[in-house]
Amino acid sequence: MAETIEQASETVEAWLKQEDAIDPKKAPRLQELLARVPRQELIAIVERQNALRAALALRLLPREKSIAVFDALDAKHQADIIDELGNADVYEFFDELDPEDRVALLDELPAEIADRLLRSLTQTQRDVTGVILGYTKGSVGRRMSPEVPDIHPGMSMEDALYTLRDTADELETIYTVPVTRKDRRLVGVVSLRELFTAERGILIADIMKEPVYAYATADAEETVRWFLPLDMLALPIVDDSHRLVGLLTWDDATDIMEEADSEDSARSGGTEALQQPYLSTPLLKLVRSRILWLLVLAVSALLTVQVLDSFEDTLAKAVVLSLFIPLLTGTGGNTGNQAATTVTRALALGDVRTRDLLSVMWRELRVGMLLGAVLGMAGFVLATAIYGLDIGIVIGSTLFLICSMSATVGGLMPIVAKTVGADPAVFSNPFISTFCDATGLIIYFFIAKSVLGI
């Protein structure tokens, strides 16, 4: 059976990639194949299709399975598919999404389409979705589920279980139960396990625990980084008056973490995060995600050209110096980026704070000096063996100083970026590439002129 499923998956994907995949005559056969593919495979298949072919697959799936697959897609991919689906399909998919997922999709849609979709909701759904829309992008409130049970300290265990059973279909999670007073102020939390194992007649006030919570206006990424290690299934979210406004579930928190890590990884590599699977991303989006950084780095390279132009006479007198330029600039950039990546990650995890700037600077300076000593010695031996003692001294000394400088600058840049409110991953690498290349060449040529007497 496993082989049949695999064959069906491969056949479905092959059919969807054909030019005439939209041919109505092929629809029954494609629908038959889709019905034999497990849900997790369907999600993987649809993720790899462009918007038109993904929409085709969703239309041919049974209603329940189609909605489940659509719900599992990234918001940007959902937004692309919306344009290809008929109005009735769009409203049905949108209606079935959880409130926080609706908001994520609305953020990716043009205003007029978003407004039309909002109007298609019932008043209750619109009110619940509006609660999330009221918070700024990037905040916990924007990613929480506003549908929470109404459990109070004076309730008995039986009353609480009855309330949960009666409202379970409307809630995203019932495994972590926040406890509130009548004015919705959060006073405790109890797990479903504790409710099931509690003695009959016992009050919620007797078994609830002190709650761990976050404010709705707090930064989502910072919140999930301390929430996930706690191994909790959900985190109560409160407003400034300590009133319960929602729950951040564990799965939503992991989505936030994955998005943040993907963004940092992409930006450290000189591009923007795609926010949807690679194969389903339109070509123009791929170009836009990369072109800005290429332009920034190309402009910054002009500074390196200016440095080379300033030392043109030095190069003319010792042409051999030009052979080592790629080695030195590459070493400086790599050393700086290694330090920046390490410190950026430490900042994200909370291991390093902005007040640790001097500690980080001193630590990276020593790391850079040790790296420079090792690389400098290797460079000295090889350059001396091939080009003579003078060139060996120039290369060895330059590698030592470049590594020391690059590691220090690379370690400082993420903290400086964090201090001024910029994204460390965005700010660090372009600056390091520009600064280390230009400064490294200046160090190189000054050492060369001193040692070689030119």
Pair type for strands 214-215 and 186-191:
unpaired
Query: Would you call 428 exposed, middle or buried from its count of C-beta atoms within 10 A (0-12, 13-18, 19+)?
Result: buried
User: Residue 267: its pLDDT value, please?
Assistant: 67
User: Residue 69: its pLDDT value, please?
Assistant: 85
How far apart are alpha carbons 293 and 282 in whole angstroms? 19
Q: Could you list the pLDDT tens digit for every one of the 454 residues in the chain?
A: 444 556 666 766 666 666 555 555 666 777 777 777 888 888 888 888 878 778 877 877 888 888 888 888 888 888 888 877 766 666 676 777 788 788 887 777 777 677 777 777 788 777 778 878 888 888 999 999 888 899 999 999 899 999 998 888 888 888 899 999 989 999 999 999 999 888 888 999 999 999 999 999 999 988 998 998 888 899 999 999 999 999 999 989 998 888 887 777 766 666 666 667 777 777 777 777 677 777 777 776 777 777 777 777 777 777 888 888 888 888 988 898 888 888 888 887 778 888 888 999 999 999 999 999 999 999 999 999 998 999 999 999 999 999 999 999 989 988 988 888 777 766 656 677 778 888 888 899 899 888 888 7
Paired with 368 in beta bridges are none
Tokens representing 225 are: 């980084």
What are the structural domain ranges in the chain?
3-133, 155-267, 281-450
- Predicted TM-score (pTM) of the model is 0.65
Q: At what angle do helices 75-82 and 99-108 cross, to 10 degrees?
A: 70
Element (H, E) at 22: none
Neighbouring residues of 161: CB distance < 8 A, sequence distance ≥ 6: 195, 196
Ordered alpha helix ranges (H), 22-181: 27-35, 39-47, 51-60, 63-72, 75-82, 87-96, 99-108, 111-119, 123-133, 157-167
The distance in angstroms from the start CA to the end CA of the chain is 78
User: Residue 188: its pLDDT value, please?
Assistant: 94
User: Residue 418: its pLDDT value, please?
Assistant: 83
CATH domain 3-133 topology:
MgtE N-terminal fold (1.25.60)
How far apart are alpha carbons 42 and 136 in whole angstroms? 33
Give CB contacts under 8 A, 24+ apart, made by 322-330: 324/383, 324/395, 324/398, 324/444, 325/441, 325/444, 327/379, 328/395, 328/398, 328/399, 328/402, 328/440, 328/441, 328/444, 329/304, 329/436, 329/437, 329/440, 329/441
Phi, psi (degrees; rounded to nearest 5) at 237: -115, 130
Geometric angle at alpha carbon 260, from 258 and 264, rounded to 5°: 115
CATH domain 281-450 topology:
Tetracycline Repressor; domain 2 (1.10.357)
Domain 155-267: homologous superfamily in CATH: CBS-domain (3.10.580.10)
Does residue 342 contact residue 371 with C-beta atoms inside 8 Å?
no
